[in-house]
Structure 1
Amino acid sequence: MSIDDLKLWFLQLDQLLEQQQAYWRLQPMQQNDLPFADHSLNELLLSFSLEQCDAIDQSPALQQQYFAGFFPLLFAALPKLQHFAPQGLELPFWLSTDIGGRKWQQISLFAEAVGKPGSKVLEWCAGKGHLGKVLCFAYQNKVTSLEWQAELCQQGQLSANKLNLDQFFIEHNVLEAQSQPLLASVDQLVALHACGDLHRVALTAGVAARCPELHLLPCCYHLQQDECYQPLSEQALASRLRLSRAELKLAVQGQNTAGERVRRLRHTEVLWRRAYQLWLSEQSGSTLYRALPSTAKHWFSGAFADFASWAAAQHQLEWPAGQDGHRYLVQAAQLLLLQRRIELVQHLFRRPLELWLVLDRALYLAEQGYQVQLQQLCQASVTPRNLLLSAYSYTDEQSSSVRVTGAVPR
């Protein structure tokens, strides 16, 4: 993948996001009507039920079917990325103990995509080190797993010792302590779903240590200390886009891996919070949004009045006894449908924005002399955050040889 390809893709996405920012740089919850000037687009949105909105929002094929005519440049600007073609990494069932099905799929696919026999690997933000265990077992790698939580390090080390794996855990906060010495003698740095600043530091530390290979599946770009996004590459630094932390969150709003119960509870939570805000506005005479803290999901399995009583207490108010809140729930349902219709358009720009961010990272690595590979690791049903960024500090001939990987069967 040449740097010219990366620059072209980035430029196309950059122009698209700038020219059509009216469609994605908005707050759907704050709208009282459809904000778009295209009457045909508005008519289409008004025809969708809440269930249709949810179905379309979770399906790239349906998004293209309904909206390609309105946004032809958007769909044309998306890079045609290579999809990783797994051959099947043979792993024993007991290695996946206590790991969820989708998480296990992500780990095994990531390991197969980057694994290389005999490598010294640094596992970044390792948690319990599940990825490191697979790399140790399948490829006889020597793995150092960095994790800042002592309890997770202890649990991970105990598991590795029981399995007689060459995996060593280090309690290490990558945001506060220097990591370059730990990278000095490794062959690969791997990071599966390291969030925001965590994977940014992985990139810069890996480059500073001239780590031979870096493999990252970035996630949660908005989890950063800075209020505004700080570009990494020269191309992104030259862009006129200035992204806030809230705008970065748009890139990771895909939720199509959630189960039916989780989606239902999420819908109820959004509806009830909006209904409560309507009541709160009546009491205060102000339409300004007043935040509520996160709370346990059990509140959204009972009665709305119980949740509203809890919410009112957070604002030093008292929910009226005997008030079921039906009137507010009806109004909130109408506002929620409007919000979902607006989000249908806004969410068309999730993937372009995420690709813009990942390409910024890819261009940064290319500018530092690395050969870069960007591919889609898996389907969005396994994880929406499925962009695998790999970088190699080899010559062309050497690089082509290390990209052919396979499992070492046990």
Structure 2
Amino acid sequence: MPELFAFFARLDQLLTADQALWRLQPLKLQQIPWTDPSLLALLDGLSLDDCDCIDQSPERQQQLFGALWPELFALDIASPAMFQPQGLNPPFWLATDIGGRKWQQILLFAEATAQSELPVLEWCAGKGHLGRVLAQQFQLDVCSVEWQQPLCEQGAAIAGKLDLKQRFVCRDVLQHPVSDLFEQQQQVLALHACGDLHRSLLVQAAAAQSQQLDIVPCCYHLQQAADYQPMSAPAKQSSLKLTKTELKLAVQGQVTGGERVRRLRQTEMLWRRAYQLWRTELTGDSRYQPLASVPKHWFSGEFRPFAEWAAQQHQLVLLPDDDGSRYLQQAGPLLLTQRRIELVQHLFRRPLELWLVLDRALYLVEQGYQVQLQQLCDTALTPRNLWLSARIYP
């Protein structure tokens, strides 16, 4: 399929030529790393709120940066065509315990992929919500594969209660053989299977020549290898050698969660930078040290309890009479610099994700499949909306 190969080549050229704009770690930088006067003038006038708003808006990104990098906004690297749903209307009780956005994604993927009467293999199924919709709405025979036994038991109980043709197989697909699960007359589905999980699926389904494959990949950095392992010949020939850290750029886009969520996110970034300054002063070590994730409600309180928790992560003790306010003051300008750098770096999130998805698409083409790349839904519903649909005909 020459258009997919040409699309990949264009993205590869763009990402290779502009590496200095995206292959960096903004959290570790204390000043803008570029010298272009036009770019520096643009960034110098932006506040934290400006950066947040622009980062969430492709239209504003193009307005601000389109003259500097027109190739980033050219039609030949624009996002693929959008799936146009007719809409499913399953009974309300089918959506029990499923969040609103997740339920919408499941319904869209079920409608988009229910194009045949082939038996379905649902990969990384959880409780089998997707398989349940396919079995109930389209009367398909579904095998749902999941490694967590409690989820399998809960899913099987629901399917049994509803008298659906859905069975569960509990297996760690990365640690145990799964070739017995794949057949030629079969449709294989994976909605937001991460990293090695969807890579393993593609390899094994292609080996079995499963007739239909539909995946919406996610979390490309969740892999065992330290560096990215290309799948297709063009990606293997590319000069881009991606680290696991660089792969995270492709999934840094977030769905806007409202003003409160945005403010909490800003506070979290500020506090994390302030704590790093505090830690550096205590230890004399200026190297960045990661911290675990914490619930967002932490960032509605005071800085000191968060700093104490962070210090415990690094086996440090903070002076009892220091509220950390001076570190917060020092962190403010550093955070603004970080966000300005990220604003440029994030222009390459989508091109990098398309590069990764096309690597998978071209691998499937090389295995004899006819492949389409589409958007399942708008990025406002989920940023991970790229849908690979592959068919092989006997």
TM-score tier by shorter-chain length is over 0.9
Contact persistence 1:181–1:209 (CA under 8 A): no
CA distance in 2, matches of 1:177, 1:263: 42
Q: What does residue 52 of structure 1 align with? A: 50
| C-alpha contact 1:122 1:186 (8 A) present in aligned 2 | no
Instruction: Give SS of 2:191's match.
Output: strand
* 1:199 is aligned to 2:192: no
Whole-angstrom distance in 2 between the partners of 1:4 and 1:265: 46
Picking from 31, 34, 50, the partner of 2:32 is 34
1:28-107 maps to which residues of 2 (within 5 A)? 28-76=26-74, 77-107=76-106
SS in 2 for 1:83: coil
What secondary structure, in the 3-state scheme, does the structure 2 residue paired with 1:323 have?
coil
Q: Distance in 2 between matches of 1:347 and 1:238?
A: 25
Which residue pairs with 2:381 in the alignment?
A: 382
How far apart are 1:38 and its partner, in Å? 1.1
- Answer with 153-162 or 313-322: which moved more: 313-322
Amino acid at match of 2:384: R
* Residues 186, 153 of structure 1: alpha-carbon distance in 2 compared, 3 angstrom cutoff: farther
CA distance in 1, matches of 2:173, 2:312: 39
Matched residue type, 1:361: R
CA apart distance, 1:189: 0.1
Q: Which moved more, 1:110-119 or 1:269-278?
A: 110-119
Whether 2:168 is the aligned partner of 1:173: answer no
| Helix, strand or coil at the partner of 1:294 | coil
Count of equivalent residues: 393
The amino acid that maps onto 1:346 is Q
Distance in 1 of aligned mates of 2:293 and 2:112: 37
Contact 1:116/1:139 (8 A) holds in 2: no
- Which of 13, 16, 23 pairs up with 2:14? 16
* 1:2-401 → structure 2 map (5 Å cutoff): 3-76=1-74, 77-184=76-183, 186-394=185-393
**TM-score normalized by the length of structure 1:** 0.93
Provide Cα deviations, 1:45-83, integer angstroms capped at 9, x if missing partner.
Answer: 111111110011011111111111111112224145111
CA distance in 2 between partners of 1:266 and 1:305 (Å): 17
- Superposition deviation, residue 285 in structure 1: 2.2
What TM-score comes out, normalization by structure 2 length?
A: 0.96
Distance in 2, Cα, partners of 1:80 & 1:296: 33
Cα distance in 2 for residues equivalent to 1:276 and 1:37: 29
Alignment partner of 2:198: what SS? Answer: helix
Q: Equivalent pairs: percent with the same residue?
A: 60
Alpha-carbon distance, 1:167 to partner: 0.3
Instruction: Name the CA distance, whole Å, in 1 between partners of 2:184 and 2:155.
Output: 22
| 1:107-129, Cα deviation, whole Å (9 max, x unpaired) | 00001111035320000000010
Q: Deviations over 1:297-326 (max 9, x none)?
A: 443232111111222233332222232211
Change beyond 3 A, Cα 1:80–1:321: closer
Q: Is there any run of 5+ residues in structure 2 with no aligned partner, and where?
A: none
Shifted more, 26-35 versus 99-108: the winner is 26-35
Specify the SS of the correspondent of 1:70: coil
| Cα distance in 1, alignment partners of residues 375 and 351 from structure 2 | 14
- SS state of the match for residue 112, structure 1? helix
> Matched residue of 1:145: which SS?
strand
Give SS of 1:170's match.
Answer: strand
Determine the C-alpha separation between the residues in 1 that align with 2:258 and 2:295: 18
Moved more, 324-333 or 124-133: 324-333
Contact 1:257–1:383 (8 Å) recurs in 2? no
Structure 2: distance between partners of 1:262 and 1:155: 32
Distance 1:159 1:261 in 2: 36
Deviates more, 1:271-280 or 1:339-348: 271-280
Shift of 1:260: 4.2
